[in-house]
């Protein structure tokens, strides 16, 4: 049986494309290199293509969009797997103008802040983390979104959320101080062409990441894997087999870095050693038990930000066969 597998081209997914993973009995995984914001070999808009069109059998998916979809549709034809291929700390993803008077997170209250969209995972995490650790109240902020919401949301009339005008570039808006801050998983290309016009909010990002990890005990999840529910019900061993396959892919990817010159980055080996010192041997741990606090805090953020009706247990996201993982 051929099953399509839509993935980003991270190092931990390279073994799928290399064909070096042990086969799953009766299943041939067909890896597709599908981006989300950027077009890869097999296209883009991976999340929408899976949520709306069920185009793939298995796919990498936005945690936030999936949490909202599960809340809204008790008969959702997709089910999650506790495999988490993308993670971010908030600290390195908050940018301000180089000439801004914003020096501390609390200075964001009442300001104009840009995001990709209100409900995307990085936006929800950023709002939640800044509120949890620094008292930033997302309801006081004037939100400027790059694009409309993938899943429609009704936030009420007491908050300000809008989409930037056509032809505007949110990176230039930050550099020109049309907005005060930007929460984004990477600098916009327009920002990279103006390196003197922006800076990160946190001057020592690594120290803040270590503080977060030490305080909260996890590295926040951005994406999970999902699959068609009828496929998981028909092949109840497959979710667990996929978890084992992704873990093996991760082990092989770690092995790439045994060669200190594997990466284009000159100091990749030193970076790896620093990561292991600060975050342990494997901060990419899959499974429900190891990630419950991480997931349920994000579900709480989603409720606080009016994206879901009520918090719910993390088990509701995942196929029953994986609940003991």
Q: Quick check: helix, strand or coil at residue 100?
A: coil
Scanning the chain, the segments in alpha helix (DSSP H) are: 14-18, 46-51, 63-72, 121-134, 170-175, 189-192, 205-216, 229-234, 238-256, 268-279, 292-304
- In this predicted structure, the answer to whether residue 162 has a pLDDT above a threshold of 90 is yes
**Domain positions in the chain:** 2-88+220-322, 91-216
- Report angle CA 304, 283, 108 to the nearest 5 degrees: 35
Alpha helices in 30-120 (DSSP H): 46-51, 63-72
Q: What angle do CA 47, 113, 152 make, to 5 degrees?
A: 35
Q: Is the pLDDT of residue 151 over 80?
A: no
**Integer-rounded Cα radius of gyration of the chain:** 20
pTM of the model: 0.95
CB atoms near residue 45 (< 10 Å) = 16
Give the H/E segment covering residue 30.
Answer: strand 28-33
Q: What's the CA gap between 140 and 134, in Å, rounded?
A: 14
| pLDDT per position as a tens digit, 203-245 | 999 999 999 999 999 999 999 999 999 999 999 999 999 999 9
Q: What residues contact residue 39 under an 8 Å CB cut-off, 6+ apart? A: none
**69-79: per-residue pLDDT in tens?**
999 999 999 99
CA 223 to CA 217: how far, in whole Å? Answer: 18
Question: What angle is formed at CA 285 by the lines to CA 182 and CA 221, rounded to 5 degrees?
Answer: 20
- pLDDT (0 to 100) of residue 37: 81
Is the pLDDT at 19 greater than 80? The verdict is yes
**Check whether domain 2-88+220-322 has CATH 3.40.190.10, yes or no:** yes
- pLDDT of 38 strictly over 90: no
* Helix intervals (H) in 106-193: 121-134, 170-175, 189-192
Q: How does pLDDT run across 87-126, given as a tens digit for each residue?
A: 999 999 999 999 899 999 999 999 999 999 999 999 999 9
Please provide the average confidence, as pLDDT, over all residues in the chain: 96
Residue 174 and residue 8: Cα distance in Å, rounded? 28
> Is 80 exceeded by the pLDDT of residue 3?
yes
Q: Measuring CA to CA, which residue among 308, 316, 293 is closest to residue 65?
A: 308
**pLDDT tens profile 237-294:** 999 999 999 999 999 999 999 999 999 999 999 999 999 999 999 999 999 999 999 9
147-167: average pLDDT = 89
- Residue-level pLDDT at 148: 87
Return left, alpha or beta for 43; rule: phi > 0 is left, psi -120 to 50 is alpha, else beta. Answer: left
Nearest-angstrom CA–CA distance, 69 and 66: 5
pLDDT at 129: 98
pLDDT of 150 above 80: no
Alpha-helix residue ranges (DSSP H) falling in 39-179: 46-51, 63-72, 121-134, 170-175
Same fold, 2-88+220-322 and 91-216: yes
Residue whose pair of structure tokens reads 């503080």 in the numeric block: 211
| Half-sphere CA count of 264, side-chain side, radius 13 A | 1
Select 91-216's CATH number: 3.20.20.70, 3.40.190.10, 3.40.50.2300, 1.10.287.990: 3.40.190.10
pLDDT surpassing 90 at residue 133: yes
């Amino acid at each position: 049986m051929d099953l399509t597998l839509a993935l980003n081209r991270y190092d931990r997914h390279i073994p799928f494309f290399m064909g070096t993973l042990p086969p799953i009995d009766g299943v041939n995984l067909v890896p597709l290199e599908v981006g989300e914001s950027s077009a890869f070999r097999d296209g883009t808009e991976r999340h929408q293509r899976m949520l709306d069109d069920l185009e793939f059998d298995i796919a990498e998916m936005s945690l936030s969009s999936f949490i909202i979809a599960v809340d809204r549709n008790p008969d959702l034809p997709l089910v999650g797997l506790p495999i988490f291929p993308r993670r971010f700390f908030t600290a390195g993803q908050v940018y301000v103008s180089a000439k801004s008077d914003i020096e501390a997170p609390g200075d964001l209250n009442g300001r104009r802040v840009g995001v990709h969209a209100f409900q995307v995972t990085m936006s929800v995490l950023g709002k939640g983390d800044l509120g949890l650790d620094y008292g930033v109240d997302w309801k006081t902020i004037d939100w400027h979104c790059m694009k409309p919401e993938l899943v429609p949301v009704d936030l009420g009339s007491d908050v300000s959320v809008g989409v930037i005008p056509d032809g505007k570039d949110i990176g230039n808006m930050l550099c020109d101080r049309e907005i005060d801050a930007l929460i984004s998983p990477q600098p916009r290309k327009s920002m990279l062409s103006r390196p003197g016009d922006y800076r990160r909010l946190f001057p020592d990002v690594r120290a803040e990441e270590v503080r977060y990890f030490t305080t909260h005990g996890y590295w926040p999840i951005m994406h999970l894997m999902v699959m068609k529910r009828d496929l998981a019900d028909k092949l109840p061993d497959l979710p667990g087999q996929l978890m084992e396959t992704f873990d093996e892919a991760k082990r092989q990817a770690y092995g790439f870095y045994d060669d200190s010159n594997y990466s284009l980055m000159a100091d990749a080996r030193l970076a790896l050693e620093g990561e292991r010192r600060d975050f342990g041997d494997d901060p990419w741990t899959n499974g429900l038990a190891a990630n419950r606090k991480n997931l349920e805090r994000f579900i709480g953020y989603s409720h606080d930000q009016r994206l879901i009706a009520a918090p719910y247990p993390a088990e509701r996201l995942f196929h029953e066969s994986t609940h003991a993982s």
